[in-house]
Amino acid sequence: MGKQGTLDILNKVKEGTISVEEAMLKLRTQPYEELGYAKPDHHRELRQGIAEIIYGEGKTADQIIGISKAFLDKGQPLVLITRLLPDIAEKVQKSLPLKYHELARVGTIGEMPKPDGIGKIVVATGGTCDLHVAEEAALTAEALGNEVIRLYDVGVAGLHRLLSRLDVVMSARAIVAVAGMEGALPSVLGGLVDCPVIAVPVSVGYGASFNGLSALLTMLNSCASGVCVCNIDNGFGGGYLASMINHQ
């Protein structure tokens, strides 16, 4: 049960259409649902302000369908599924109106909300090879009610590309900086802006990049203040944190 479902129960108590005892029973029995293979958390939006999001990797199509239906049946307007493989998405689409974003490997069921964040979130990448992680971040932020500006292929190999868009980055309330190789982009941005920079290392680069470890260490060792770091390839985590910042 999300925020709206709880408000409906409280309003019914206020109107006298259900008793306090009936309302208490509904609230007590609705925190999560037992599906056997999963326990969908219907109270997460009440606790954290954001409904539970499905991590699709490792789950079967039937499991994703079951969890999604559990959320939809409780009135959740949008279900977001990350790390969703194309063949699984195709099977889910036979049962649910899933929109699949192949580059990001993200699925959505329901309408994207209108932005209600305070400002804008910029998602920037070092190069084109970082787009799959950046799009996961951007779609996550949009699904959580944010206006997102995509600023792609502005890495330090051609710094003039970033400097020509200073008006965009300086107007952001939060920036998600996605980069592989040496991962220098977040440090550059951190030295230019007055908002938090969320660094997301990407497992892109030649051998000594160690599948993103080199970028991760660069970002952790940034000398720019205001830079925080997500795990390798974790675009979802970057978009989620940016949304929290933009709604504070």
- The answer to whether the CB of 133 falls within 8 A of the CB of 239 is no
pLDDT at residue 88 tops 60? yes
Mean pLDDT, rounded, for 86-108: 97
Q: What is the CA radius of gyration of the chain?
A: 20
- The answer to whether the CB of 64 falls within 8 A of the CB of 81 is yes
Alpha helices in the chain (DSSP H): 3-15, 20-28, 44-48, 61-73, 86-92, 131-143, 160-163, 166-170, 185-190, 213-220, 235-246
Which is it for strands 78-82 and 106-110: parallel, antiparallel or unpaired? antiparallel
Indicate the range of 11-15, 177-181, 185-189, 227-231 predicted with least confidence.
Answer: 11-15
Contacts of residues 149-153 at CB distance under 8 Å and 24 or more positions apart, as own/partner, are: 149/120, 149/121, 149/122, 149/123, 150/122, 150/123, 151/122, 151/123, 151/124, 151/125, 152/124, 152/125, 152/128, 153/125, 153/126, 153/127, 153/128
Residue with tokens 């326990």: 39
Half-sphere exposure of 245 (CA within 13 A, CB side): 23
Which DSSP letter does residue 184 get? -
Task: Give the burial class of 97: count Cβ atoms within 10 A of its Cβ; 0-12 exposed, 13-18 middle, 19 or more buried.
Answer: exposed
36 — alpha (psi -120 to 50), left (phi > 0) or beta? left
Share the mean pLDDT of the chain: 92
Domains, in order of start, for the chain: 38-111 (no CATH), 120-246 (3.40.50.1970)
- The answer to whether the CB of 144 falls within 8 A of the CB of 169 is no
Q: Tell me what pLDDT residue 29 has.
A: 58
Q: The tokens of 140 are what?
A: 């996550």
Q: What is the pTM of this model?
A: 0.87
Residue with tokens 């910029």: 122
Give the model confidence (pLDDT) of 142-198 as tens digits: 999 999 999 999 999 999 999 999 999 999 999 999 999 999 999 999 999 999 999
For 94-134, the DSSP string reads TTS-EEEETTTTEEEEEPPPPP-SSSEEEEEESSGGGHHHH
**pLDDT classification of 30: cutoffs 50, 70, 90:** low
